[in-house]
Amino acid sequence: MTTGFVGDWNRQARTGIAEAVFCQSKSTAQIADILGEATNGQHRMLFTRLSAEKFADLPDSARDALNYEPVSQTAFLGAISPVSQPNAICIVSAGTSDDAVAREAQRTLEFMGQGASMVRDVGVAGLWRLMERAEFIGQHRIVIAVAGMEGALFSVIAGLVNALVIAVPTSVGYGVGQGGATALHSALASCSPGIVTVNIDNGFGAACAAMKALRL
């Protein structure tokens, strides 16, 4: 049985972003077949939303070929590029509940050879925590801001720093948070200029946008 997967092996040269595979809706057998195709062609590849359960079910040879990180649910196939410009991008997360998405962004950047600073647990419920780190955050050219609940972090950061702010709403929160929809609407409706927004929980997309902006 074939996966129906056709690798876009020229994507790196064409767009600057290497081929990546979203594993959440794929079976373990499909992931293993894709991994085998990439390995046979000696291609580098990033796997996202690869759960610990699916990773554990992969054949031993497949697991051994991957650099897997369970918090972000990401895996690398192939060598990691040397890190460049480590102080260009800062990933800022509102709370520890946002760690998985923040780490997905960080790992995606790492796969692409781009370093990033991390500032964690500085949500606006304790505004003093963010203010203590504002000067450091503002030293970066791009800020990836990761927050759920009401998404207030995006507007506050954009009002403090001279940097492109990429908002990543997360599906963290109760009731009317609506799986991240409230944070998404907050980012889109912000009165702070200079914010661009990616989809809910899309740390991968935020990292790709940051890389393209950095290359301009």
What is the distance of C-alpha 1 from the center of its chain? Answer: 32
- For 168-199, the pLDDT digits (tens) are 999 988 887 778 899 999 999 998 988 999 99
Helix intervals (H) in the chain: 11-15, 28-40, 52-57, 60-65, 99-111, 127-137, 152-158, 181-188, 203-215
- End-of-domain residue from the set 46, 77, 108: 77
CATH of the domain at 169: 3.40.50.1970
Tens digit of each residue's pLDDT (9 = 90 or more) over 49-86: 999 999 999 888 888 889 999 999 999 987 777 777 76
Alpha-carbon distance of 169 to 98, in angstroms, equals: 9
Which residues span the domain enclosing 21? 11-77
**How many distinct structural domains can be found in the chain?**
2
Total-model pTM: 0.89
Q: For residue 114, give the DSSP letter.
A: B
Distance between CA atoms of residues 209 and 73, nearest Å:
20
